[in-house]
Amino acid sequence: MRDREATSQLVDVRQPWEFARASLPGAVLIPLGELPARLRELDPARRVILYCHHGARSHHALRFLLEAGFTQVAHLAGGIAAYSEMDPTVPQY
């Protein structure tokens, strides 16, 4: 995951209050409900890595991006909650 962050677009699809509580370095906040309207902010030529709290919202976002024609899309299974277990600098909530 950390190796991919440098060359990928890391997108947090949670709500602003969640992003303020805990986020991953370099992530851009695009709440799931805003994703259709903000699709042009993402570069389809670059890999997009999505995450949320536990993985459900990012999975929905992944399906939406695939349907929109993005081909290099992944999501963080288990979300930031799972990531924070590996990286204690990311707070759990």
List, by residue number, the catalytic residues: 52
Instruction: Report the C-alpha gap between 47 and 9 in whole angstroms.
Output: 6
In this structure, which amino acid lies at residue 21?
R
In this structure, which amino acid lies at residue 20?
A
| Count of residues in the chain | 93
